[in-house]
Structure 1
Amino acid sequence: MNPSRILINPSRTHTNPNWTLINPLKNEAERTRWSSAFGRWSLLLIPLVLLSCGSLVDDKELNDAAKEITKEQMMDHITVLSSDAYQGRGTGTEGEQMSVDYLVAELEAMGAQPGVGDSSFVQKFPLLGQVTDNHKMRVNDAANVIELAFYDDFVAWPSNQRTEVEVQNAELVYVGYGIQAPEYNWDDYKGVDVEGKIVVIKNNDPEYDENLFGGRARLYYGRYTYKYEKAQEMGAIGAVIIHTTPTAGYGWSVVSNSWSRERFYVKANPDVPENPTKFNAWITEERSSELFAAAGLQLSDLLKEADNPDFEPVVLEGLSMSINLESRYREILAQNVVATIPGNDPEIKDEYLVLTAHFDHLGVTSPIDGDAINNGAEDNAAGVSAVLEMMESFKAIQPEMRRSVAAVLVSAEEVGLLGSEYWAQHPTIAPSKVTANINLDGMNVYGPTNDLVIIGLGRNTMADLVVQEAGKAGRPVYPDPAPENGIFYRSDHFNMAKVGIPAIFPNPGSEFLGKPEGYLEVIDSLSAANYHSVNDEVNEYWDLSGAEQDTRIFFKAAMNAINAEQLQRWTPGDEFEAVRLKSLSDN
């Protein structure tokens, strides 16, 4: 991914380049708006930043350690990891094993310690690849049977890694957004028992009020994963999300391409009780409208009614749905790489700053002009190189570190953020002992910029520390330019946030320095052409001085967190704050 031109992509797990390129700073009006807002807002952050910082390292020492991060060394790592020999670093492949061997060797050579137990750098985890070969969905009303076509009208898959699903004539209940959020006095399941029934759900979350559900910014409540999880919790036998392009932010082709091919899951623990939800699905707006009409209902009206907090679930009277699915599975073994550099304060050296980057990519796919290897130079050999460089700098300044630092280099990101999901569920460090997470997924490989973007700006004090360090360099930091697309939930930091860890996702800026007029437009076009393709290779436009510049700022901000008096924290009222507070109190 090229985060300097944020790719608004609903799922990082598909290869269809159906995205919108968003650049918030392409014109002077937008620059002025963001700069003005930043100036006012950053003044409010100063007290939080000061509270977050403890006794910091001398600026000269910190700057000297930051200079260990160089564009030449970053390029060395990228060149190796993105070479054809690594076969695109596909999850569970020989290329993954080669990557693991390289990363372990580099971490050992710099003096980092094993992060999995006392003697291993590698955390292995089982994945299941699922292919559903047989899909049949039909809806019955009093007089007719409505057959739906897989791929064109719907996509569906078994939940809980079932091989067969058979649901016959289940009642349909429309539950609006399918959200239960007591902090907003919102309950889309009020007054209805959906056990054994199929819930039909509107995508996204309410956006009409800036003081409700984050306004334009999509929260986790708006993600499809939340809706399936909530349906399971409520006892539904199936969950069907209505796709509309405005509520999803992407067209039906993205859904059909993403969910019709092999999907991967962390292998279920056999001791975990089987959940009641037998299947999950998406259905097109057009066919949904037809089904609602068969029940005497107007879909467009009900989609609007879901925005009302007084909305009550609606039974699709006279309709029932049946579905049959047959799936097969294959098991593969994936690997995360975890390394640590211990701190020195006996009171807090068991607390960690965690750096994440995914090292996997798409592997070998169908050839394009004779090239079948998806090298993944920008996505994400570049991010891995930044983490390795930061770890070297931490090793150089280790005597000054109060807390410890860990590099968690994860696999299986491209198939659904599964490496970080596994680490979060089976952490090598208790989440309550992690002060913060900085996730590097793509870097600015096209030259230095005046500005930075942080996905998660304003959400926690770790972001404030980056603002502080960028400010010392005279660089403005901007928030997510398209929060309605939910980018915060689409890379590995999200799984850290889900277990309460204050997490950020830095992105490069767009105000390129020393480049010719029209350069940004060229890079935008290049990024779109290269994303998730065999063309993601080092090319003549690459200039890692920007990545070097940004990584040094991230390193300094991370060091400030490592030496802060307090653990980093979520902004009061953030959706992940409650999880963090519970984690800390349980500990």
Structure 2
Amino acid sequence: MGYTRSLAAGLLACVAVAATAQTPPPAAAPFTAEGMRAHVAFLSDDLLEGRDLGSIGHEIAARYVATRFEAMGLKPAGDKDDWYQRITFRRTVPGATPGTVTITGPAGEKQWAHATDVLVSIDVRDPNYAIAAPLVFVGYGIEDKVAGINDYRGLDVKGKIVVTLAGYPKGMPSEVGAHLSANKIEAAARHGAIGWLSIATLQAATTRPWAQRIRFANQPSVTWVGPDGKPFDRSYGMKGGAQLNAPVAEAVFAGAPKSLKAVLAEADRAGGRPKGFALKTSARVTQSATMTRVTSPNVAAVLPGADPALAGQYVVLSAHLDHIGVSPAKPDDTAETDRINNGALDNAAGIATMLEVARAAAEATDRPRRSILFLALTGEEKGLLGADYFARHPTVPAAGIVGNVNLDMPILLYPFTDVVAFGADHSTLGPLVANAVAPMGLALAPDPMPEESIFVRSDHYMFVKQGVPAVFLATGFANGGGEHWGKFLSGNYHNRGDDMQQPIDWEAGARFAEANYRITRAMADADTVPLWYRGDYFGDVFAADRPKAAIPAK
């Protein structure tokens, strides 16, 4: 999962509240602790070396999933009747010469190197770039018609480098804010900016200090390459930019009509949205990098629907297959040091759940009405890349994809008594999930950590961006779950401790698989497809012309 460690502190204080419904969906085939354990044991074995994108270990994992699909009698749903949707990725890493940021203004000129007080971005199209232009402060840099925000009003940024505050205004719904924050570069590009600089708010600097950010300074930037041979450009044509620590931010605001201190104070108030203005400074940003290409597959299979009128509709059960691979050696490591990040819970457990659901669905005597697409995704840990590629280049008709449940890092360390469906309040998938798991004595709990914006941080969100109602299902915080989540995220998460030596509760794993079978069958067998709620932000942005459901009365 693409979580960050900042989750851990907030998790420990959260306790879920239960909500249930009736109407049980079809009964499930048997789910066993042994079945779950066998899948996870293979996928998290040292032989696979952490299943990193483009690695032999990930290829072995992909073949394991494909052979399981074939043994179940499912139909291939990759490219050209294959199990695999093969994707090319471009991986770019900082070069030997560090990138730089130079600020020039009333206080003179000063330069900072990458990984000191600046973190210089990588451009996927041009590994060696240099941009120089006057600076314009644009507040949070948000522009969105549905949210009614335009931080660019009255500002001329064409040919300039924009300076934005990180994040989004205090008090804005976190999921909407996280989405808007992720689209800042696109907004700047629309207005003709050639680059960007980002400054942390007081809150952002506290929750994610500079020392934590700089630890990942030299991580590669990865993007998928389309069928036309062009890399997907998340900067939308802008050359590049940088994150700035406090000393550089002060230099940027030298001589400004409003001080950085005043701007940050305004942003720290609820609803505070500092207005933009031209700065008295200019910047030059340079970067050098090296590029390589790798390939890695999504693995896809379909269980065809039995109802001729509905078989052309697909409900998707997804989970990411990749993990983070082998950690770089440290100076005090020996030949015996374990550096493999096995990813047992993140996300071998999610894949195991999906495989057990697929098995049960294939063995059921009452076949589903709609088709079920089972999807093992690559590149989640590098930015939801495999899901993004599939959602934009689906191997089944795009109009036929009607709903998605995503499985990512189920914390199977305790006998859970509730589940969380992140995003449940945006569509009719919420009550569907509640009804499906109620016969098991499980409650659907509200999001226990809304401040973390989980709804926009895993693979299902790529389907949301194509207008598909989706949820991300996880074990809940009741019965000690919050403590187990917090302990995992502050310890074994993205670490070598996420292996088979953990005290994994395999009976909980079997129970989680059954819950997901019931949910998947409920989607596949329902009389109507999942619908966005009327007036929901994400439905209005990504599915404006599609039917909507009324929000149920509470």
- The counterpart of 1:492, out of the listed 459, 465, 477, is 459
Asked if the contact 2:406/2:471 (under 8 Å) is kept, the reply is yes
Q: CA deviation at 1:526?
A: 4.9
- The counterpart of 1:267, out of the listed 216, 225, 234, is 225
Distance 1:520 1:94 in 2: 35
Distance 1:522 1:482 in 2: 14
For structure 1, which runs of at least 5 residues remain unmatched after alignment? 2-10, 50-55, 514-518
The 10-residue stretch of structure 1 (194-203 or 154-163) with the greater mean CA deviation from structure 2: 154-163
Residue in 1 aligned with 2:196?
Answer: 239
Q: Is the counterpart of residue 385 in structure 1 residue 347 in structure 2?
A: no
- The counterpart of 1:112, out of the listed 74, 93, 109, is 74
- The counterpart of 2:440, out of the listed 466, 469, 473, is 473
Asked if the contact 2:437/2:518 (under 8 Å) is kept, the reply is no
Q: Aligned partner of 2:249: which letter? A: S
Asked if the contact 2:413/2:505 (under 8 Å) is kept, the reply is yes
- The counterpart of 2:36, out of the listed 60, 74, 83, is 74
Asked if the contact 2:52/2:325 (under 8 Å) is kept, the reply is yes
Q: Aligned partner of 1:261: which letter? A: Q
Q: CA deviation at 1:233?
A: 2.3
Residue in 2 aligned with 1:180?
Answer: 143
- The counterpart of 1:459, out of the listed 415, 422, 426, is 426
Deviations 1:85-117 (A, max 9, x none): 112111111111111111111100011100024
- The counterpart of 1:569, out of the listed 506, 531, 539, is 531
Deviations 1:254-306 (A, max 9, x none): 33233422221113655689844110321123431342144353113224556
Distance 1:342 1:522 in 2: 38
Q: CA deviation at 1:581?
A: 3.0
Deviations 1:463-484 (A, max 9, x none): 2211122333333222222222
Q: CA deviation at 1:507?
A: 1.4
Asked if the contact 1:121/1:338 (under 8 Å) is kept, the reply is yes
Residues 428, 181 of structure 1: alpha-carbon distance in 2 compared, 3 angstrom cutoff = same
Asked if the contact 1:500/1:583 (under 8 Å) is kept, the reply is no
Residue in 1 aligned with 2:169?
Answer: 206
Residue in 2 aligned with 1:404?
Answer: 371
Residue in 2 aligned with 1:299?
Answer: 260
Q: CA deviation at 1:380?
A: 0.6
Residue in 1 aligned with 2:314?
Answer: 352
The 10-residue stretch of structure 1 (395-404 or 116-125) with the greater mean CA deviation from structure 2: 395-404
Residues 542, 104 of structure 1: alpha-carbon distance in 2 compared, 3 angstrom cutoff = same
What SS class does the counterpart of residue 380 from structure 1 fall into?
Answer: helix
Residues 271, 291 of structure 1: alpha-carbon distance in 2 compared, 3 angstrom cutoff = closer
Q: Is the counterpart of residue 228 in structure 1 residue 185 in structure 2?
A: yes
Asked if the contact 2:36/2:352 (under 8 Å) is kept, the reply is yes
Identity %: 28
Residue in 2 aligned with 1:438?
Answer: 405
- The counterpart of 1:171, out of the listed 109, 129, 134, is 134
TM-score between the two structures when normalised by the length of structure 2:
0.89
Asked if the contact 1:25/1:510 (under 8 Å) is kept, the reply is no
The 10-residue stretch of structure 1 (178-187 or 132-141) with the greater mean CA deviation from structure 2: 178-187
Q: CA deviation at 1:364?
A: 1.9
Residue in 2 aligned with 1:52?
Answer: none
- The counterpart of 2:49, out of the listed 70, 78, 87, is 87
Residues 255, 468 of structure 1: alpha-carbon distance in 2 compared, 3 angstrom cutoff = same
- The counterpart of 1:193, out of the listed 147, 156, 160, is 156
Residue in 2 aligned with 1:53?
Answer: none
Q: CA deviation at 1:495?
A: 1.0
Residues 569, 522 of structure 1: alpha-carbon distance in 2 compared, 3 angstrom cutoff = closer
Q: Aligned partner of 1:263: which letter? A: S
Q: How does 1:120-159 map to 2 (within 5 A)?
A: 120-133=82-95, 134-142=98-106, 144-159=108-123
Q: CA deviation at 1:403?
A: 0.6
Asked if the contact 1:191/1:312 (under 8 Å) is kept, the reply is no
Residues 279, 401 of structure 1: alpha-carbon distance in 2 compared, 3 angstrom cutoff = same
Residues 506, 190 of structure 1: alpha-carbon distance in 2 compared, 3 angstrom cutoff = same
Residues 71, 219 of structure 1: alpha-carbon distance in 2 compared, 3 angstrom cutoff = farther
Distance 1:290 1:474 in 2: 59
Deviations 1:483-523 (A, max 9, x none): 2222222211111111111111111123338xxxxx97577
Q: CA deviation at 1:127?
A: 0.8
Deviations 1:327-362 (A, max 9, x none): 110111111101000002112211111011111111
Distance 2:328 2:29 in 1: 41
Residue in 1 aligned with 2:291?
Answer: 329
Asked if the contact 1:163/1:326 (under 8 Å) is kept, the reply is yes
What SS class does the counterpart of residue 241 from structure 1 fall into?
Answer: strand
Q: Is the counterpart of residue 99 in structure 1 residue 61 in structure 2?
A: yes
Distance 1:266 1:584 in 2: 29
Residue in 2 aligned with 1:370?
Answer: 337
State the aligned residue count: 534
Asked if the contact 1:157/1:281 (under 8 Å) is kept, the reply is yes
Asked if the contact 1:100/1:337 (under 8 Å) is kept, the reply is yes
Q: CA deviation at 1:158?
A: 3.4
Distance 1:199 1:298 in 2: 17
The 10-residue stretch of structure 1 (487-496 or 520-529) with the greater mean CA deviation from structure 2: 520-529
Residue in 2 aligned with 1:251?
Answer: 209
Q: Is the counterpart of residue 424 in structure 1 residue 388 in structure 2?
A: no
What SS class does the counterpart of residue 365 from structure 1 fall into?
Answer: coil
Residue in 1 aligned with 2:244?
Answer: 283
What SS class does the counterpart of residue 380 from structure 2 fall into?
Answer: coil
Distance 1:477 1:299 in 2: 44
Q: CA deviation at 1:69?
A: 2.5
Distance 1:290 1:143 in 2: 7
Asked if the contact 2:124/2:223 (under 8 Å) is kept, the reply is no
Residues 523, 539 of structure 1: alpha-carbon distance in 2 compared, 3 angstrom cutoff = farther
Q: CA deviation at 1:571?
A: 2.0
- The counterpart of 1:23, out of the listed 3, 8, 11, is 11
Residues 354, 106 of structure 1: alpha-carbon distance in 2 compared, 3 angstrom cutoff = same
Residues 308, 85 of structure 1: alpha-carbon distance in 2 compared, 3 angstrom cutoff = closer
- The counterpart of 1:502, out of the listed 445, 469, 489, is 469
What SS class does the counterpart of residue 319 from structure 1 fall into?
Answer: strand
Distance 1:197 1:398 in 2: 63
Residues 496, 245 of structure 1: alpha-carbon distance in 2 compared, 3 angstrom cutoff = farther
Distance 2:178 2:495 in 1: 29
Asked if the contact 2:225/2:232 (under 8 Å) is kept, the reply is no
The 10-residue stretch of structure 1 (189-198 or 301-310) with the greater mean CA deviation from structure 2: 301-310
Distance 1:535 1:167 in 2: 43
Q: CA deviation at 1:542?
A: 1.3
Residue in 2 aligned with 1:7?
Answer: none
Residues 540, 412 of structure 1: alpha-carbon distance in 2 compared, 3 angstrom cutoff = closer
Distance 2:484 2:425 in 1: 31
Q: CA deviation at 1:399?
A: 4.1
Residues 270, 540 of structure 1: alpha-carbon distance in 2 compared, 3 angstrom cutoff = closer
What SS class does the counterpart of residue 348 from structure 2 fall into?
Answer: helix
Asked if the contact 1:24/1:481 (under 8 Å) is kept, the reply is no
Residues 397, 534 of structure 1: alpha-carbon distance in 2 compared, 3 angstrom cutoff = same
Asked if the contact 1:432/1:584 (under 8 Å) is kept, the reply is no
What SS class does the counterpart of residue 435 from structure 2 fall into?
Answer: helix
